[in-house]
C-alpha cells in the first residue's frame, strides 16, 4: 500500500498515457477546455474552408480555367461559405466566450457546464454531418456529392427537383445542429453573465468584453430559431412534399429569403460583436489607457443589437421589393454605421495620447481597425439600393463582406489568440513569427480582396466558375497570389500556435500588465479558476489592486 | 498580489441582488428562443392564410373553414389550459410540504398534457382520413401541420420531462430545494400561453 506522501496518481502530463489525457478532454465539462476545443475545431475547419478557397482562386487564375469543372466549383463555394461562417467563425466565438467570459467575471465555470459540453459536441457533430455529404450524399441518383446551393441556399435551388440526392439534407442538418449548439452556448452565456458575476461587479461595472458577449448571446437567442424553423420547412418540403418554398403550388420562394436573412444578417453582427469585444480589451491594454467612452460603447453595442434585426432585406434589393421597403431597409442599414462609427472613434480616441505598445495583439487590432473600416465603408455604398442593383452579386460584394468577415472579424480573433494564448497555455506565442505572419496575412489579404472590388466594378459576377474577358485576368491573378500569401500567413499562425505549446517563453500570470480578472489567476488557470472569488469595485479590478493609491473606483 | 487582497478590501460595493436564480435565468433565456421560434411559425401561418393554388376551384381543396372541427379541439384546449392551473396547485402544495397532494396535482397535469397529445393525434387522424389533408396537399396543410406539430411536440416534451420529475419525486430522489418542478412549470405555462395564441389564430380568426 502506497504511503500517503507518495503521489499515487502522477499528474505530470508526460507520464499520463496519451489516450487518458485525450479521454479527459472528451469527457470534460470545464469551460476552459471546452473553449480550447472550440478553437481547435475552428482550426480544423479553417484548413478545410481555406483549401476550398484556394481551389476557387486557382480556378479563376485565367480565362477558361480548367482546374475544376462547373459542378465542383458550385460545391466549392457552397462549402467554403458554410464552413467559414458556421464552423470557423462561430466556433471561434464559442471558444472566446467560453474561455474568457467566466474568468473575466470571476466565476468558477459557466452556469450549465454539461449543457456547454453538449453545445460544443453538437456544433462539432454538425460540421461532421456537413462534411459527410462528400461521402454519403449521392443518394440514388449519382447526383452532387456535396451541397451546391450557395451558403444561403435560395429556393428553388433546394427543391427536390433541382437538388437531387441528399447533399442539401446534410447541409440542412449540419447547420441546424450547429445552430442548436449556438443556442445552448447563448443560454449559458446569458445565465452566467446575469447571475454569476463576482461580488461588486454590477452590470455597469462589467468589462466591455462581457457586455458585448451578453448582447451577442441575446442576438443568438433571437435569430437562430427563425433559421431553424426555415430549415424545418425546407426538410418538410423535401421529404413530405410540403409547399413552403414552392411558388407553383402557392408557396413562396421569397419567404425563404426573408427567413434566411432575418437570421443571416444579425448573424454577421453575432460574429462581429465578439470581434469588437476582443478589440475593446486589446486596445486599452496596449495603449495603457482606460477605454474611451465606456457608456457610449455600451449604448452603441445595444443599438447595434437592435438595428441589426431590422436590416435584413438589404440582401434582397435586387428581388424587387416595393420602393417603401427598399427605402426603409436602406435607411436602417445606413443607421448601423452610426453606432459602429462611434465604436471606431472610441477605439481611436483610446489610442490617442496613449503609450502604444506595438506587440502582436495590438498589431492585429490595428489591422482590424483599418480593414473593418474599409469593409464598413463599402457596406454603406451597398446599402444604397441604386448602387446595390449594380453591384449586388458581383465580385465587389464578395470583396466587401470578406473585408468585414475576414479583415474585420478574423483579424480581431487573431488579436485575441495572441492576447489570451499565454492565459490558455502558460506560454507566449512567438512575437517574431507573429510579426512575419501579420505581414503575410495583412498584405496577402489586401492583395486578395482589393482587386475583387475593381473586377466587380468591371462587371465580374460572383459564383461564376470561369470567365472569358481577358481584362479581368490581371485582377484575378493578383487575387490568387494574395490568397496564397494569406494561406502562408495562416499556416504560420497555426505553426506558431502549436509550436509555442512546447517552445514558447513561459508567460507568467500577467504578461501584458492587463486589468481584468482573468490575469489575476495562474496561467493556465486551475480548474476552479480562482481560489477565492475576488471582490470587484471598478471596471478594472486589477488596476485597483496594482495602484491602491489611485484606484479606478474613485473616478468612475 | 492575491485575490485575498481584493476580497479584503473594505467598504466594497455590494452586488445588486439577482432577481432570478441561475437556472431560472437559463430557462428564461431558453423561453426567449422558443418565443422567437413560435413567432416565426405563427407568422408563416399568417402569410399563407387563405393562399390558393393557381387555378384552384373553391371548395375543391381542404381549407381551415371546411376541414377544421372545433369540437375535439375545444376539449383538448380545456385540458391543456386547466393543466396550467393544476401545476400551479401542485407547486403551491409542494411549497407547503404536502408531498402527497403535490404528486396528485402534478400527476393530473401530466395526464391532461397527455390527453392533449392524444387528442391532437385523433384530430390529425380525422383530417388525414376524412378531409385528405396532408402537408403535401396545399399550403394550408403544410403550415397547419408545421405549427400544430411543433406545438404538440413541445407539449410532448413537457409531458416526458414532467413524468421523469414526477417519478423522481415519487421516489423522493429530489430534495425539497430542487428547482426542477418549478422550472418545468414555467416551461409548461409558456407552452400553454403559446396555445392560446395558436388556438385564437388557427381555430377562430383564421377559420
Q: How confident is the prediction along chain A (556 residues), in pLDDT tens digits per residue?
A: 333 444 444 445 567 888 998 999 999 999 999 999 999 999 999 999 999 999 999 999 999 999 999 989 999 999 999 999 999 999 999 999 999 999 999 999 999 999 999 999 999 999 999 999 988 766 555 555 889 899 999 988 999 888 888 889 999 999 999 999 999 999 999 999 999 999 999 999 999 999 999 999 999 999 999 999 999 999 999 999 999 998 888 899 999 999 999 999 999 999 999 999 999 999 999 999 999 999 999 999 999 999 999 999 999 999 989 999 999 999 999 999 999 999 999 999 999 999 999 999 999 999 999 999 999 999 999 999 999 999 999 999 999 999 999 999 999 999 999 999 999 999 999 999 999 999 999 999 999 999 999 999 999 999 999 999 999 999 999 999 999 999 999 999 999 999 999 999 999 999 999 999 999 999 999 999 999 888 899 999 999 999 998 888 888 7
**Are A220 and A182 within 8 A, CB to CB?**
yes
Bridge partners of residue A506, in order along the sequence:
A427
| Whole-number Å distance between alpha carbons of A385 and A327 | 8
How would DSSP label each residue in A257-318?
A: HHHHHHHHHHHHHHHHHHHHHHHHHHHHHHHTSPPTTHHHHHHHHHHHHHHHTT-GGGG-GG
The Cα of A552 is separated from the nearest Cα of chain B by a number of Å equal to 13
- Per DSSP, the three-state class of B201 is helix
The pLDDT, as a whole number, for residue A465 is 94
3-state secondary structure labels for all residues of A25-82 = HHCCCCHHHHHHHHHHHHHHHHHHHHHHHHHHHHHCCCCCCCCCCHHHHHHHHHHHHH
The pLDDT, as a whole number, for residue A139 is 55
The pLDDT, as a whole number, for residue A534 is 85
Query: Could you tell me the residue ranges of all domains in chain A?
Result: 27-198, 509-546
Neighbouring C-beta atoms of residue B124, cutoff 10 Å? 17
The pLDDT, as a whole number, for residue A222 is 96
Per the CB < 8 Å rule, is A187 touching B29?
yes
Q: Superfamily assignment of B23-49+83-205 in CATH?
A: Cytochrome c oxidase, subunit III, four-helix bundle (1.20.120.80)
The pLDDT, as a whole number, for residue B59 is 78
The pLDDT, as a whole number, for residue B1 is 36
Residue B97 C-alpha cell reads as 410540504
Bridge partners of residue A394, in order along the sequence:
A461
Tens digit of each residue's pLDDT (9 = 90 or more) over A522-547: 999 999 999 988 889 999 999 999 99
Q: Does B20 touch chain A (CB under 8 A)?
A: yes
**Length of chain A in terms of residues written:** 556
**Are B165 and B180 within 8 A, CB to CB?**
yes
The Cα of B53 is separated from the nearest Cα of chain A by a number of Å equal to 5
Residues of A in contact with B138 (CB under 8 A): 243, 249-250
- Which residue of A191, A236, A259 is in closest CB contact with B146? A236
How far is the CA of A554 from the CAs of B7, B14, B199, in angstroms?
18, 16, 57
Residues of B in contact with A226 (CB under 8 A): 36-37, 39-40
**Are A365 and A292 within 8 A, CB to CB?**
no
Quickly tell me which residue has 402527497 as its cell: B100
Angle between helices A473-503 and A431-457 (to 10 degrees): 160
Residue of chain B nearest A224, judged by CA positions: B33
Tens digit of each residue's pLDDT (9 = 90 or more) over B90-145: 999 999 999 999 999 999 999 999 999 999 999 999 999 999 999 999 999 999 99
The pLDDT, as a whole number, for residue A543 is 92
CA A474 to mean position of chain CA atoms? 31
Q: DSSP alpha helices (H): ranges in A90-207?
A: 90-104, 113-136, 167-195
| Whole-number Å distance between alpha carbons of B33 and B28 | 9
Q: How confident is the model at residue B89 (pLDDT cuts 50, 70, 90)?
A: very high
B5 pLDDT more than 60: no
Residues of A in contact with B148 (CB under 8 A): none
- Which residue of B7, B51, B52 is in closest CB contact with A532? B7
CA B154 to mean position of chain CA atoms? 5
Q: Does A547 touch chain B (CB under 8 A)?
A: no
The pLDDT, as a whole number, for residue B17 is 56
| Whole-number Å distance between alpha carbons of A158 and A171 | 10
| CA nearest neighbour of A163 among A112, A252, A235, A271 | A235
B15 pLDDT more than 70: no
The pLDDT, as a whole number, for residue A5 is 43
Amino acid at each position: 500500500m502506497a504511503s500517503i506522501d507518495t503521489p499515487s496518481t502522477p499528474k505530470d502530463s508526460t507520464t499520463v498515457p496519451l489516450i487518458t489525457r485525450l479521454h479527459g478532454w472528451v469527457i470534460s465539462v470545464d469551460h476552459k477546455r471546452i473553449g480550447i476545443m472550440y478553437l481547435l475545431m475552428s482550426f480544423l475547419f479553417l484548413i478545410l474552408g481555406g483549401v476550398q478557397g484556394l481551389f476557387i482562386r486557382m480556378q479563376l487564375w485565367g480565362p477558361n480555367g480548367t482546374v475544376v469543372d462547373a459542378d465542383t466549383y458550385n460545391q466549392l463555394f457552397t462549402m467554403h461559405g458554410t464552413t467559414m461562417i458556421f464552423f470557423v467563425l462561430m466556433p471561434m466565438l464559442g471558444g472566446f466566450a467560453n474561455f474568457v467570459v467566466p474568468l473575466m467575471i470571476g466565476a468558477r465555470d459557466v452556469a450549465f457546464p454539461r449543457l456547454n459540453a453538449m453545445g460544443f459536441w453538437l456544433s462539432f457533430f454538425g460540421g461532421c454531418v456537413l462534411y459527410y455529404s462528400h461521402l454519403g450524399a449521392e443518394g440514388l441518383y449519382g447526383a452532387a456529392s456535396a451541397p451546391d446551393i450557395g451558403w444561403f441556399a435560395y429556393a428553388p435551388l433546394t427543391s427536390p427537383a433541382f437538388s437531387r440526392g441528399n447533399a442539401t439534407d446534410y447541409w440542412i442538418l449540419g447547420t441546424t445542429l450547429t445552430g442548436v449548439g449556438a443556442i445552448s452556448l447563448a443560454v449559458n452565456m446569458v445565465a452566467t453573465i446575469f447571475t454569476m458575476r463576482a461580488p461588486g461587479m454590477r452590470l455597469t461595472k462589467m468589462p466591455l468584453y462581457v457586455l458585448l458577449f451578453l448582447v451577442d448571446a441575446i442576438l443568438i437567442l433571437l435569430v437562430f430559431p427563425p433559421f431553424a424553423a426555415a430549415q424545418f420547412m425546407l426538410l418538410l418540403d423535401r421529404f413530405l412534399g410540403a409547399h413552403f418554398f414552392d411558388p407553383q403550388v402557392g408557396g413562396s420562394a421569397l419567404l425563404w429569403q426573408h427567413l434566411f436573412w432575418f437570421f443571416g444578417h444579425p448573424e454577421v453582427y453575432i460574429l462581429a460583436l465578439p470581434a469588437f469585444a476582443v478589440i475593446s480589451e486589446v486596445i486599452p491594454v496596449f495603449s495603457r489607457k482606460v477605454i474611451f467612452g465606456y457608456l457610449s460603447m455600451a449604448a452603441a453595442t445595444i443599438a447595434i443589437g437592435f438595428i441589426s434585426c431590422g436590416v435584413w432585406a438589404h440582401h434582397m434589393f435586387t428581388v424587387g421589393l416595393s420602393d417603401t421597403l427598399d427605402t426603409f431597409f436602406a435607411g436602417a442599414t445606413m443607421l448601423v454605421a452610426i453606432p459602429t462609427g462611434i465604436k471606431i472613434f472610441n477605439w481611436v480616441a483610446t489610442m490617442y495620447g496613449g503609450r502604444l505598445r506595438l506587440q502582436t495583439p495590438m498589431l492585429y487590432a490595428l489591422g482590424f481597425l483599418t480593414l473593418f473600416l474599409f469593409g464598413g465603408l463599402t457596406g454603406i455604398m451597398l446599402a444604397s439600393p441604386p448602387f446595390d442593383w449594380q453591384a449586388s452579386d458581383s465580385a465587389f460584394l464578395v470583396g466587401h463582406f470578406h473585408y468585414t468577415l475576414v479583415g474585420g472579424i478574423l483579424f480581431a480573433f487573431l488579436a485575441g489568440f495572441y492576447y489570451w494564448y499565454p492565459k490558455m497555455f502558460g506560454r507566449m506565442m512567438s512575437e517574431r513569427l507573429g510579426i512575419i505572419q501579420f505581414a503575410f496575412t495583412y498584405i496577402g489579404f489586401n492583395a486578395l480582396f482589393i482587386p475583387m472590388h475593381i473586377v466587380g466594378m468591371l462587371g465580374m459576377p460572383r459564383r461564376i466558375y470561369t470567365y472569358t474577358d481577358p481584362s479581368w485576368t490581371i485582377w484575378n491573378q493578383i487575387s490568387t497570389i494574395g490568397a496564397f500569401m494569406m494561406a502562408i500567413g495562416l499556416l504560420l499562425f497555426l505553426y506558431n500556435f502549436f509550436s509555442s505549446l512546447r517552445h514558447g517563453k513561459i508567460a507568467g500570470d500577467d504578461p501584458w500588465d492587463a486589468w481584468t480578472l482573468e490575469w489575476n489567476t495562474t496561467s493556465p488557470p486551475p480548474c476552479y479558476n480562482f481560489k477565492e472569488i475576488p471582490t470587484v469595485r471598478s471596471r478594472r479590478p486589477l488596476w485597483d489592486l496594482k495602484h491602491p493609491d489611485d484606484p479606478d473606483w474613485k473616478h468612475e | 498580489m492575491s485575490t485575498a487582497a481584493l476580497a479584503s478590501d473594505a467598504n466594497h460595493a455590494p452586488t445588486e441582488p439577482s432577481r432570478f436564480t441561475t437556472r431560472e435565468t437559463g430557462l428564461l433565456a431558453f423561453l426567449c428562443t422558443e418565443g422567437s421560434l413560435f413567432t416565426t411559425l405563427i407568422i408563416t401561418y399568417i402569410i399563407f392564410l387563405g393562399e390558393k393554388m393557381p387555378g384552384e376551384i373553391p371548395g375543391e381543396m381542404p381549407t381551415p373553414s371546411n376541414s377544421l372541427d372545433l369540437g375535439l379541439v375545444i376539449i383538448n384546449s380545456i385540458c391543456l389550459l386547466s393543466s396550467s392551473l393544476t401545476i400551479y396547485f401542485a407547486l403551491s402544495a409542494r411549497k407547503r410540504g404536502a408531498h402527497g397532494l403535490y404528486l396528485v396535482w402534478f400527476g393530473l397535469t401530466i395526464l391532461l398534457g397527455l390527453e392533449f397529445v392524444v387528442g391532437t393525434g385523433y384530430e390529425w387522424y380525422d383530417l388525414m382520413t376524412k378531409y385528405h389533408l396532408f402537408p403535401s396537399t396545399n399550403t394550408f396543410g403544410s403550415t397547419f401541420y408545421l405549427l400544430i406539430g411543433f406545438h404538440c411536440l413541445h407539449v410532448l416534451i413537457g409531458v416526458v420531462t414532467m413524468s421523469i420529475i414526477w417519478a423522481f419525486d415519487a421516489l423522493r430522489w429530489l430534495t425539497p430545494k430542487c428547482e426542477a418542478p418549478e422550472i418545468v412549470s414555467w416551461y409548461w405555462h409558456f407552452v400553454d400561453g403559446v396555445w392560446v395564441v395558436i388556438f385564437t389564430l388557427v381555430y377562430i380568426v383564421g377559420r
